[in-house]
């Protein structure tokens, strides 16, 4: 089955991963800007990173007939440095006309600090002013419920934000309704151990339905599986879900969200 991985950090993966993903049916990926494993020392480092996301990765993916899209921001982990964050945010507009850019992301919170909240709101302001989609990172483990609540509050209090143009990622059992009930899209991240395993993700789909919900591997520097979406496909089949339902989750849904981007060019 053809599928889309809407959240994967290909910068951290080898070229063989693209090949294996293509062999498993991957036709498109989207890569949010994130942490590099260390705090970058200057805005110039982000300028190079944005070039990597908008120039190099689309070419590497194209060798395997995979479409590569990206999202731009300074991630929540580095957003504690407000001065650097503002320098990076000022760089983003020059990249917003690149054809593979879908919007601003993954922005959000990491430790739920006031500085992170300030930088989050400045990114939202940039996105709204440029009519861009927004992709949101929610914190891990014990910070997740509080952080997701803070994010939803900031977004719903900004009258300019249209929830159907925002995807809240890394939802779990205790945060999925907060995203869906407020009209946002949401993403479940399939990790081998933390976040959602494919089995837990299918439990959530069976409980909350398949509207405005996507799944991704978030393949990154940590222990993660770039073939996690095909694993979910197998788990849904094992439980007897119709092919059309599986296809909606792994293909139609991410495509419907991406299509709202003003630069979207259809390729189906």
> Toward Zn ion, which CB reaches closer, 124 or 218?
218
Shortest distance (Å) from residue 168 CB to Zn ion:
13
**55 DSSP assignment:** I
Question: Shortest distance, CB of residue 268 to Zn ion, whole angstroms?
Answer: 26
Q: How many residues bind Zn ion (CB under 5 A)?
A: 2
As measured in angstroms, the least distance from the Cβ of 191 to Zn ion is 11
Instruction: Classify residue 8 as left (phi > 0), alpha (psi -120 to 50) or beta.
Output: beta
Identify which of residues 32 and 230 has a Cβ nearer to Zn ion in the complex.
32
Characterize 226-262 residue by residue with b for buried, 16 or more Cβ atoms within 10 angstroms of its Cβ, and e for exposed: bbbbbbbbebbeeeebeeeebbbbbbebbbebbebbe
Q: State yes or no: cis peptide before 199, omega within 30 of 0.
A: no
Give the SS3 label for residue 261: coil
Our CB check for Zn ion shows the closer of 34 and 46 to be 34
- Cβ distance 92 to 42 under 8 Å? no
CA distance 217 to 27: 14
User: Which CB atom, from 34 or from 50, has the smaller least distance to Zn ion?
Assistant: 34
Nearer to Zn ion, 184 or 241 (CB): 184
Q: Provide the minimum distance between the beta carbon of 262 and Zn ion in the complex, in angstroms, as a whole number.
A: 23
Q: Which stretch binds Zn ion (CB under 5 A): 26-34, 44-52, 108-116, 145-153?
A: 26-34
Residues 189-248 that bind Zn ion (CB under 5 A): 218
Compute the least distance from the CB of residue 159 to Zn ion, in Å: 28
DSSP code per residue over 125-164 = HHHHHTT-EEEEE---GGGHHHHHHHHHHHHHH-TT--GG
Residues within window 31-70 making contact with Zn ion, judged by CB under 5 A: 34
Task: Map the footprint of Zn ion across residues 72-131, applying CB under 5 A.
Answer: none
* Residues that bind Zn ion in the complex, under the rule CB under 5 A: 34, 218
């Amino acid at each position: 089955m053809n599928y889309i991985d809407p959240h994967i950090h290909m910068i951290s993966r080898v070229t063989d991963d693209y090949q294996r993903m293509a062999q498993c049916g991957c036709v498109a990926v989207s890569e949010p800007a994130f942490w590099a494993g260390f705090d970058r020392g200057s805005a110039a480092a982000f300028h190079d990173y944005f070039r990597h996301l908008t120039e190099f990765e689309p070419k590497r993916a194209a060798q395997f007939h995979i479409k590569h899209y990206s999202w731009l921001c300074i991630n929540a982990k580095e957003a504690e440095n407000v001065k650097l964050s503002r320098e990076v945010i000022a760089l983003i507009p020059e990249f917003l006309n690149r054809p593979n850019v879908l919007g601003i992301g993954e922005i959000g919170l990491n430790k739920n600090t006031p500085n992170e909240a300030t930088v989050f709101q400045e990114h939202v302001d940039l996105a709204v002013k440029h009519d861009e989609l927004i992709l949101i990172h929610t914190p891990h483990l014990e910070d997740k419920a509080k952080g997701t609540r803070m994010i939803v509050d900031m977004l719903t209090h900004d009258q300019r934000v249209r929830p159907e143009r925002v995807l809240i990622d890394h939802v779990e059992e205790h945060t999925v309704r907060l995203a869906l009930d407020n009209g946002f899209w949401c993403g479940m991240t399939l990790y081998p151990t933390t976040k959602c395993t494919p089995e837990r993700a299918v439990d959530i789909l069976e409980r909350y339905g398949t509207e405005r919900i996507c799944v991704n591997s978030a393949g990154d520097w940590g222990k993660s599986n770039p073939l996690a979406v095909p694993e979910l496909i197998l788990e849904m089949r094992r439980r007897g879900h119709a092919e059309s339902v599986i296809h909606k989750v792994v293909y139609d849904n991410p495509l419907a969200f991406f299509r709202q981007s003003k630069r979207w060019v259809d390729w189906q």
